[in-house]
Each structure stands twice: as structure tokens, then as C-alpha cells.
Amino acid sequence: MSVLVIKFGTASITQPDGSLDEAVIADIARQVAELRQSYHIVLVSSGAVGAGKGLIEGYRGEIAQRKAAAAVGNLLLLNVYNRYFSDYNIPIAQTLCERHHFADRQQFLQLKETVQELWKNGIIPIANENDVVSDRELKFSDNDELATLMAVGFGASTLMLCTSVGGLLDNDNHIIQAVDRVDESIFGIVRDEKSALGLGGMASKLTFAKLATRMGIRVTIFGLKQPDGILRALRGETGTTFKPQVSTPSARQRWLGSGSLTAGILRVDAGAVAALGRRNSLLAVGVRTVEGEFAAGEVVEICDEAGVTVAVARARLSSADLLPQLNQQNVEVANANDIVLL
């Protein structure tokens, strides 16, 4: 069966005060129960911080308070999901992820094997970032990214991102039904509609829609305000559908192509960009600047001299070893097999 990843943001499943909207979650369970006959499904759900913050005295949104709210809210969130999915005899599982799970190949494979075992047993995983132990401020990570990493890593056919505005809006506030390619003209119409409760906005969704479509995944940005919002959006009747680009990357390349936890940036010259386009390895002579510190084996972003990302790659050299060799010929920075063009 095809893999379907559906992400629900905080504003989509909570009341204005942050409490969970159980009617919405009940409707999600009903629609997902219908889809599980045709798809292996991963749900990515925000809402834990919003659900738990009312139990944190004097809540002001400080990092420690957000982590505490997430610790309380994760339990509340999963209990509500479990209550409504049990009406359809569907067991659920909590899948708390951290970004390094997608940066380390072995950890990612363990995650993938666990999720596949859940599917085998008819269990739907509900994923969220492990906010309680994350060593990054929560505002630097949102579940649009987690959902995209899941979709790319698991080779999903479709990634669905739920939003309170129901899709990508044009300048007249009408939903754009279809987008062939995410480019600067598309980013240019984005307005700042990020909710007070959520972390991700439309710009975030477009960024990850661009990545997912380049990996051959169809992306739909949709809303839940209309009846059968998930089912109709999946059929292309509502929301905005982003056309997948032609792509046949291997599982390893999909994982690399997620750009998961890139440790640094390599800015390369035009000759290097052309060589990458011919599926050649990246050599040190084509690297102009090195940004960030990374070890050999970590994933880095490759940009042209204008700053446009052209690829991600697994570095064969650390940043410390690379810097003294930038002008040298025949020093391989990344092998062609470890480079994914974007």
C-alpha cells in the first residue's frame, strides 16, 4: 500500500484557548478510518503544548514552561486521539521523534522498522517532536518539517499539511487549487497568517512542499472546516495540490534529500554546479566557502554562489580538514553516490 502522511497543526485541532477541539479530532478519526484500507498512514500532530499549558501555573511561554506543557499535553492529546480512534477499533501509537533520528542512518532505519511493524499490526502511529528533551528552542522546529522528513524517508506518495486557512490563498483570498512548481512567484504571495498557538505558517509549508515535490511526493495543503476535509482534499476537490516533480531516487537518496539536520553549508562555483548536474562528485577545488562546523559523514547543504540550494550531500571530510584544502585538485568532498540534487 502507498504511504500517506497527514500533519495537523495546533490551530487546526484546538480551541482559541488552546484546549483540544474534540469534535475535530473525532472527525479526523472517522476519515482516517476510511483511508486506512488503502494507505499506510502516519499522523503528525501538534497541539501538545497548547493542550498542556493551562496546567502550568503562570504560563508565559518560556522554554522550560513549554517543555513542561508538552510533557503534560502529550498525554492529554494521545488520550483524546485514542478515545475516538477506538470507536473504529483502531489502536494508535505515540511516536516521539528528535531531529537527530533523521540525521543518523541507523537510527532512521530503526524508526522506519518500528513504524512498519506498527502498520503490520494495524496500528496508526501519531508522531510529534519530542519537545520534552529537545535541546533546541521549540520555535526553531515545527511539525511541517517532521511530517516532510517522515514522508521523504518513508517514500510517501502524498503528504497532507492541514492549515486553518484551508490552502494557499491568492491575492484575492481565494484558494489556489493547483500549483505545478513551488518557485519565487509562489512564495511571493504568502502572507503572515501564523496563528498565536502554532509555530509554522504558510511559508514553512511551502518550503517543505518544495522539498517533498522534488522528491516525487504530491503535497496537499488543506483545511478541516468543510465536510470531509481530508477525503476531499486527497481527491483534489479542496485545498491546494502541489504537483510532484519527476523523481526516482533510491531510499538512501530520499533520506539524504530530506536535508535532515544539515550541519553546514558549502558554497560552490559555477563549474562545481555544472559538474554536480552531470552526476560527478564534489571536489574541493570547486568549493568557495565553508559555513558551519561539521564532521566527516554529516549531511551538508550545497549552494551556488547566489545562495540557492542545489543539493544536499554526506561530507567525506570534516570542515576542519576541508578548509586548508579548498584550492586543491582531486580532493573529494562528497562522492556522487552521496549527493542528491534538489
Distance in angstroms (rounded) separating the CA atoms of residues 76 and 250: 38
Query: What is the pLDDT, as a whole number, of residue 255?
Result: 67
Mean pLDDT is highest, among 12-16, 21-25, 152-156, 163-167, for 21-25
Strand-pair partners of 268:
287
Which residues does the annotation place in the binding site?
A: 7, 46, 131, 143
Query: What's the number of CA atoms in the CB half-sphere (13 Å) around residue 3?
Result: 22
pLDDT tens column, 211-263: 889 888 999 999 998 899 999 999 999 999 999 987 666 766 766 666 556 77
The CATH superfamily holding the domain 262-341 is: PUA domain (2.30.130.10)
Q: Please tell us whether the domain made up of 2-249 is placed in CATH 2.60.40.10.
A: no
- pLDDT of residue 331 exceeding 80: yes
Which residues does the annotation place in the binding site for ATP?
A: 7
- pLDDT of residue 329 exceeding 90: no
Q: What is the pTM of this model?
A: 0.80
- 25 within 8 A of 15, measured Cβ to Cβ: no
- pLDDT of residue 99 exceeding 80: no
Q: What is the CA radius of gyration of the chain?
A: 21
Which residues does the annotation place in the binding site for substrate?
A: 46, 131, 143
For cell 564532521, the residue is 295
Position with higher pLDDT, 17 vs 304: 304
Distance in angstroms (rounded) separating the CA atoms of residues 225 and 72: 28
Q: Where are the domains of the chain?
A: 2-249, 262-341
Q: Cell digits for 102?
A: 533523521
Running DSSP on this structure, what letter comes out for residue 131? T
